[in-house]
Every structure is written in C-alpha cells, then in structure tokens.
Amino acid sequence: MPTPSRIAVAGALQTVFGEGERLPEAWDRDLPPGDAGLANALLGLCLRRWGTLQAHVLPQLQRPERGLPLGTQIALALGLAQLAWLPGVSVHAAVNEAVALAGHRDLGFPPHQGLVNALLRRAAKDRTALAAALDAAPAALDQTPFVARALKAALWPWGRLDAQDALWRRLQTPPRPWFVALDDAPMDLEPAPELPGALRLPPDADFPRTWLAEGHGMVQDLSSQALLAFAWDRQPARILDACAAPGGKTTGLARRFPGAALTALEVHPARARRLEENLALRKVAAEVVVAEAADWLRSGGPAFDLILLDAPCSGSGTLQKHPELTWIGDGIDRARLRAVQRDLLEAATQRLAPGGLLIYAVCSWLSEEGQDHRDWLAGIPGWAPAAIWPEGLGPAPGPVSFFRPDPLAWPGEGFQAFAFTRHPEP
C-alpha cells in the first residue's frame, strides 16, 4: 500500500490531468506535517516537469505512439521525480511506492505494474545521470500555449519579450510564501525586504501550520499585501469586498479601516463557509453574504465608500504557486471570464458613493483581464483614475492609478489592479 503522501500526490495529479481541474486550496490538509512537506515537494516536481518526465519515458516503450494510461503516467512521474530530484528518498522507497501506486485500482493502472517496475529500476541504476538527462531537456516540454501567452503578456508592457526564459525559470522554482502577522503571538518570521510589513519564514524554518491554524497570521502573496497598502487618506464608513473568499483581502481591509462596516460577498456556498471560518478565526467582523455579486449590486441598497472587486480570473499571474495551471490553463474559457469581469465591474460602478474608491484587481498578466477593463472605465463620463500604486514601493513606473508590477523586478504574483473614483454629482 503506498504511503498517504504518495496517494495524495497521485490523487492531485488525477484531478489536474484526469479532470482538468485546479487543485483545491490546502489540498494537503489531511496529511500529517512531515508527510505534507514531501507531498508538496513531489507534487511540485511532477507538475513543473510533467512534460519532461513523460517525454523521458516514451522512447523506452515498444509502441510509443500508443501512449500510456494516466495511472501509469502518474506512477512513473512520481517514481522518476523521486529518483532524480529527491536524493533523501531511497531507491527502494521510490521504486516500490511507485509500483504499488501503479497497482492502485483507482489511481493507477494495475496491468502496468511490471512496466513501471522495469522502467524505474533501469532509471535507478544511475540517479545522477537521470537527473542530468531530465535537466537537459528543453524547457518547451513543460510549457503550453497558456504559458506562452502568460509570459508574453507579463513582459510585453515592459518591452522585455527577450526575457521569457528568465521569467520562466523563476516561475519554475517553488515559491517561498509571504505572511501577515495578525497579533503578537510569537513566530520566527523575518521582515520581507520588498514591502514594509510583509514577513517571510527564515530559510529552512518549518511552515507555521499551528500559528496559522490558530489565527495568529495568514499567508498572503506579496502583490496582495502591496495592493492593500494603496494610498488613500479617507476613512470609509461602508466597505464592500465583492469577491471575498477565502478572505485574505477582507482581513486586510478590516485591519486597515477598523471603524468601517464591512460586507463580504461570495457566490460559492462552500467558499463562503470557508470565508466565515477564516474571518471568525481572525476575529474580523464582517457581514458575509452568499450571492452573485453583479445581481446583488444591481438589486439596490445603500452605496459604499470603498468597493474592492478582486475578480475571478485566469490566474495567469499565479503560475509559480499553481503549476497545475500550465496544464489546465488552455481549457479556461477566457471570453466568459472577460464578460463576467466586465459585468461585475459595471455593476460595482452602480453602488459606489460619490467621492468613493473602486478598486479592481486580478492575479493575471493578461491585458484582457486588467488593462482593457481599465481603458473601458476610463471612457465612462463621471469616473476618474485614482492612485493605487502602493505606498512603500517607491515611485510608480507608470500611472499611479495602475498597479502592474514589473515581473522581472518584483517577486510577488503577476497582478493588475486599478482604481477609479466617482466624481461627486455637480
């Protein structure tokens, strides 16, 4: 029987390659801490190097043109990744676990247990040579049209299309998370040099699961933390977080504007439950409403002084944290997303108080998900761009009303955010 960490990784790979779905947040939640570390490392390697791993196997098959069932591909990817890149895993464990996985009725393909055994034993004869051969494979094997589009979109505004290889190399390294401390509970974190207030784990420190689970802090990407440091000197009375789960930015808004009445909308009931749990854990007072935001905004009610629209998006800026997007990104219906984003933005304009601030954000590099919506709103009479470039990041490289960090200089997620204010009625 394979260990829980290998079963969890194989299940995650089935989700991505079998069902074409994103991985759920905290996909490793049920694993003990020691197992979760190995599982995350292994899953990251399999996802980042999936194309290379499969290409390595194919020429060794008698009938490569027939390909392999997914269960066999997964067992081989797990075995090869451990042999090549996880020297702490013994040959015995790497091979036997993978063979056992191949024999798993739901996750593997039992008729290929012998094949998996033979291919992995051959690879295990020289682990160094295996790693060298895999590392010498062309980067293109691990890319898809979605990746190519994301890289170009990230670099084009900076006139740096020549830097696609450099950016891809960064995206292929596992990210080190950033944290926000919510109280004084001790935790061995160090200030992140990129942004005042952002924190990082010292190298080799254990992931602070208990500290997070007890609500003393949260993981939040640097770009999201920077967004919440936007320059605005008003104290809003009513704030709406229109797309709120799992509540990272709701928490940030509550901390920044403690006196304001905060409403958090979320369309998916399960995600809304998660939002409520997170807010309760962090002692954030907010009214959580389960509703489709555009409908809810258009259904009438009082205006808000500040609306944050952290819109659903392709996530193209999160490839480093979510390597599975490489393989499912081409299946994302971008036209539908664009339409949803525009609809949400239009609905939000109907509920902003005169003089209020409307912030739109996406963790995507694609212009169609950010810049294009900004250009659209700029053409609507009565709306004016407002500063959003985060205080503490130094001078903005472009308009202060557009937060689009340079991907070659900024280690946070790919991000586009813009702000508009509504002119008071004449």
233 marked among binding-site residues = no
Question: How far apart are the C-alpha atoms of 83 and 44, rounded to whole Å?
Answer: 15
Q: Which residues are paired to 146 by β-bridges?
A: none
**How many chain residues are in contact with ligand SAM, going by CB under 6 A?**
19
Indicate which single residue of 149, 170, 271, 298 sits in contact with ligand SAM (rule: CB under 6 A). 271
Kindly tell me which of 112 and 404 has the beta carbon lying closer to ligand SAM. Answer: 404
Compose the 292-311 pattern: x for residues touching ligand SAM by CB under 6 A, - for all others: xxx---------------x-
In 231-330, beta strands by DSSP E = 238-241, 261-266, 287-290, 304-310
Kindly tell me which of 127 and 342 has the beta carbon lying closer to ligand SAM. Answer: 342
**The two three-digit tokens of residue 335, written as one number:** 């036209």
User: Closest approach of Cβ 24 to ligand SAM, in Å?
Assistant: 12
User: Closest approach of Cβ 96 to ligand SAM, in Å?
Assistant: 40
Whether the CB-CB separation of 279 and 286 falls below 8 Å is answered with yes
268 binds ligand SAM (CB under 6 A): yes
Residue whose beta carbon is closest to ligand SAM: 243
**Residue 284 falls in which region: left (phi positive, over 0), alpha (psi -120 to 50) or beta:** beta
Element of type H or E holding 357: strand 352-362
97 marked among binding-site residues = no
User: Closest approach of Cβ 291 to ligand SAM, in Å?
Assistant: 7
| CB-based burial, 142-171: b 16+ in 10 Å, e otherwise | bbbebbebbbebbbebeeeeebbeebbeeb
**The two three-digit tokens of residue 293, written as one number:** 């935001």
228 binds ligand SAM (CB under 6 A): no
36 marked among binding-site residues = no
User: Closest approach of Cβ 213 to ligand SAM, in Å?
Assistant: 17
**The two three-digit tokens of residue 109, written as one number:** 């393909």
Compose the 350-379 pattern: x for residues touching ligand SAM by CB under 6 A, - for all others: ------------------------------
217 binds ligand SAM (CB under 6 A): no
Whether the CB-CB separation of 298 and 276 falls below 8 Å is answered with no
Kindly tell me which of 1 and 270 has the beta carbon lying closer to ligand SAM. Answer: 270
For strand 261-266 and strand 287-290, is the pairing parallel, antiparallel, or unpaired?
parallel
- DSSP 8-state class, residue 16: I
Kindly tell me which of 51 and 248 has the beta carbon lying closer to ligand SAM. Answer: 248
For strand 238-241 and strand 261-266, is the pairing parallel, antiparallel, or unpaired?
parallel
Of 27-35, 104-112, 162-170, 260-268, the segment contacting ligand SAM by CB under 6 A is 260-268
Residue 313: active-site member: no
Indicate which single residue of 2, 103, 215, 247 sits in contact with ligand SAM (rule: CB under 6 A). 247
Compose the 26-65 pattern: x for residues touching ligand SAM by CB under 6 A, - for all others: ----------------------------------------
User: Closest approach of Cβ 308 to ligand SAM, in Å?
Assistant: 7
User: Which DSSP string do the residues of 48-106 spell out, in sequence order?
Assistant: HTHHHHHHHHGGGSSSGGG---HHHHHHHHHHHHHHHH-TTS-HHHHHHHHHHHHT-TT
From the candidates 68, 81, 347, 363, which is the catalytic residue? 363
User: Distances from the Cα of 249 to the Cαs of 27, 71, 219, 241, 253, in angstroms?
Assistant: 21, 39, 11, 8, 6
User: Closest approach of Cβ 275 to ligand SAM, in Å?
Assistant: 8
User: Which DSSP string do the residues of 171-218 spell out, in sequence order?
Assistant: HTSPPPPEEEE-S------EE-TTSTT-EEPPTTPPP-HHHHHTTSEE
Q: Write out the residues near ligand SAM by the rule CB under 6 A.
A: 224, 243-249, 265-268, 271, 292-294, 310, 312, 344
Annotated binding site for S-adenosyl-L-methionine: which residue ranges? 243-249, 266, 310
Task: List residues with catalytic annotation.
Answer: 363
